[in-house]
Amino acid sequence: MSRPGRTLVTVAVLLLAINLRPVVNALGAVVPELRDATGLPASTTGLLLSLPTLAFAAMGLLAPVLAARLGAHRTVVTALLALLAGQVVRAAVPGAPALFAGSLLALAGIAVANVLMPGLVRLHFPDRIPTITAAYTTLLTIGGAAAAGLTLPVQRGLGGDWRLGIGLWAVTAAVALVPWLLLIRRPGPAGPSGPGRRLPLRTLARSRIAWSLAVYFGCQAMVAYVVFGWLAEILVESGMTDTAAAAQVSIAIAVGIPLAAVVPPLLGRSRRPALVVGALATCYLLALAGLIVSPTGPVVLWSVLIGIGTGAFPLALTLIALRARTGLATTSLSAFTQCTGYLIASVGPLGFGLLFDLSGGWVVPLLALGAVVLVQIGAGVLAVRSRYVEDELPASS
Would you give the DSSP letter of residue 188?
Answer: P
Determine contact, residues 232/249, Cβ cutoff 8 Å.
yes
Within 8 A by CB and 6+ apart from 35, the residues are 42, 45
DSSP string, 199-259: PPHHHHTT-HHHHHHHHHHHHHHHHHHHHHHHHHHHHHHTT--HHHHHHHHHHHHHHHHHH
DSSP string, 47-88: HHHHHHHHHHHHHTTHHHHHHHHH-HHHHHHHHHHHHHHHHH
pLDDT truncated to tens, each residue of the chain (397 aa)?
Answer: 556 678 999 999 999 999 998 998 888 778 778 888 888 886 677 678 778 888 888 888 888 888 888 888 999 999 999 999 999 999 999 988 999 999 999 999 999 999 999 889 988 898 888 899 999 999 998 998 888 778 888 888 999 888 999 999 999 999 999 999 999 887 654 334 455 566 777 888 889 999 999 999 999 999 988 888 788 778 888 888 867 887 788 888 889 889 989 999 998 888 899 999 999 999 999 999 999 999 888 999 999 999 999 999 999 999 998 998 887 888 889 889 999 999 998 888 778 888 888 888 889 999 999 999 999 999 999 999 988 888 887 654 4
- 10 Å CB burial of residue 271 (0-12, 13-18, 19+) is exposed
* pLDDT of amino acid 196: 57
Distance CA 257, CA 137 (A): 8
Q: How far does Cα 175 stand from its chain's mean position? A: 21
Domains of the chain: 3-183 (1.20.1250.20), 201-392 (1.20.1250.20)
Determine contact, residues 260/134, Cβ cutoff 8 Å.
yes
Q: Choose among 266, 299, 298: nearest CA to 280.
A: 266
* pLDDT of amino acid 193: 44
Determine contact, residues 112/129, Cβ cutoff 8 Å.
no
- pTM as predicted: 0.81
